[in-house]
Chain A
């Protein structure tokens, strides 16, 4: 055993393991959520991640066609060419339409709030071990992104930046039970906060607990951020109330909210890097 502990490979193992643990402690101490190793690796390999994300997107848009024989293939080749061309045009049109819609909503928001500073970002990865909707964006601290920056899609709140490397950041969505957003219901002005649970997250919902049992909040009401706390700016739309249920442990009620944006379908988002009233200690 002593011979094993004195071996070169064990020494290398011990030194690197100590360095990794130190890096993790450093990440926790600096609250960046990512260690120096992760930052360095993501800096070097983020172009490859972007390339693979682009290739995957291209493959998804390819029409798949099987040919039963070479004769048939000859006959339908011309038609396939036309179909391919039209499909490409359709994909381009859909992409342009989505992009246009995305920027239109962004423009409205920008006109309403001159104090907001944005960074546009694309989703380039998801962690298979995390089933609460977290995703990776292609912008990091080099683009001015910080931990706790809000992430939006048009006027709708998507989530918050959880950790940052120089080129990338990881976002926790509002479906993550660890994310709490101060919020209010637009019609009744009832204040509270929005969070979620694993059960609701699986259904794509979140909730606003702690409402008075006599609350006037009803299904169909819209819930927005209240701006309290300085993490999220005021008046970003979180979602629509689909139900109001009584609490199981006390006399309060909870509003079940369906987020206004389909969090699993989005591909591009905006990160708000600065706004009036943002907490300095974010």
Chain B
């Protein structure tokens, strides 16, 4: 799930077109190990495009924005995954699994965002200086 903040950070620096293609690539790789017929590719593709477009138009490129965007797109993915697999799929213990597994996974994923942001920013700086 670290791919979500990674796509957010890269799209923020590389903007919409590069961001959406990176999202598409990352999602397609994720789909190799996940069921759901290209859902991850479609989701990360949209995340890349939306983040890149927002930075192009109305948002600033800083760590606060990265946190904000990640704290929207990570929960949307996790809650969506949980909803379709547990609620729509009619599985038991949906509430328990959400609280004990999926909610902590949101927190753990978001925890690594600053590292990803700093990493992407330093790579971007390094190559833009060249």
Contacts and interface: CB of A to CB of B under 8 A. Distances in A.
Contacts of A46: 32
Interface in A21-57: 21, 23-24, 27-28, 33-35, 37-38, 41-42, 45-46, 49
Q: Classify the secondary structure of A's interface with B.
A: helix
Given A9-B16, A9-B49, A12-B17, A28 B34 contact: no
Interface residues of B, number: 36
Interface stretch (A106-114, A162-170, A182-190, A234-242): A162-170
A33 B37 contact: yes
Given A16-B20, A17-B46, A134 B41 contact: no
Interface string B29-70: 101111101110110011001001100010000000000000
Contact of B42 (A9, A24, A163): A24
B81 interface: yes
A111 to B, nearest CB: 35
Contacts of B29: 41, 45
How big is the A interface, by class?
35 or more
Given A13-B49, A198-B92, A199-B93, A126 B33 contact: yes
B1 interface: yes
Given A9-B53, A23-B37, A49-B32, A128 B1 contact: yes
Contacts of B6: none
A130 B34 CA distance: 8
Nearest to B17: A9
Contact of B28 (A12, A38, A131): A38
A131 B16 contact: no
Given A9-B16, A128-B1, A198-B91, A17 B32 contact: no
B17 A177 contact: no
Contacts of B42: 17, 20-21, 24
A74 interface: no
Nearest to A128: B1
B39 to A, nearest CB: 7
B38 A27 contact: yes
A30 to B, nearest CB: 10
Interface in B79-96: 81, 85-86, 89, 91-94, 96
Contacts of B28: 37-38, 41
A41 B101 CA distance: 29
Contact of B32 (A21, A27, A41): A41
B33 A24 contact: no
B97 interface: yes
B24 interface: yes
Contacts of A9: 16-17, 20, 49, 52-53
A129 B74 CA distance: 12
B3 to A, nearest CB: 10
A46 to B, nearest CB: 7
Interface centre among B17, B31, B78 (most CB of A within 10 A): B31
B1 A129 contact: yes
B20 A38 contact: no
Given A17-B42, A20-B45, A21-B42, A37 B31 contact: yes
B110 to A, nearest CB: 15
B33 A199 contact: no
Contact of B31 (A8, A10, A41): A41
Given A9-B53, A17-B45, A38-B38, 5 more contacts: A13-B20, A16-B45, A20-B24, A33-B35, A125-B33
6 contacts: A12-B20, A13-B20, A41-B31, A125-B33, A197-B91, A197-B93
Interface of A: 4, 8-10, 12-13, 16-17, 20-21, 23-24, 27-28, 33-35, 37-38, 41-42, 45-46, 49, 125-131, 134, 136, 162-163, 165, 168, 170, 177-178, 197-199, 202
